[in-house]
Amino acid sequence: MKLIECENARSVTFSKRKITLFEKAKRAAASTGATIAIFLISSKGYMHAFGTSCVHPIINEYRARHSNDNVAIAVAQNDGHRSDLLNGDPVDKLK
């Protein structure tokens, strides 16, 4: 896969794929009983979130279960840097 060069086409594709991803996550949660949270950041910097419940309790449960772990959920940003989604801290190296 490669980056869609046309900004308008990229935006339309992002919107369609976001909807599909969220629909599939909803079906997976319904059929398996899983708790799911998804975060997306568009190329324009807009954040979109999906959760089988409000995403904040899911994040809080994750933090509680992994409070002693050195685990980071990283997101790639447009500037090439990564940050810890849960804490907002920069992540230089993911292990």
pLDDT tens, the chain, 95 aa long: 899 999 999 999 999 999 999 999 999 999 999 989 898 988 888 889 898 888 888 888 888 887 766 555 544 444 444 445 555 544 443 33
pTM here? Answer: 0.64
Q: What would the DSSP string read from start to end of 27-84?
A: HHHHHH----EEEEE-TTS-EEEEESS-HHHHHHHHHHHTTTS----EEE-TTS-EEE
Q: Please list, in sequence order, all residues whose beta carbon lies within 8 angstroms of the beta carbon of residue 9, skipping any fewer than 6 positions away.
A: none
Query: What local confidence, expressed as pLDDT, does residue 71 receive?
Result: 53
Query: What local confidence, expressed as pLDDT, does residue 82 receive?
Result: 47
CB 91 within 8 A of CB 82: yes
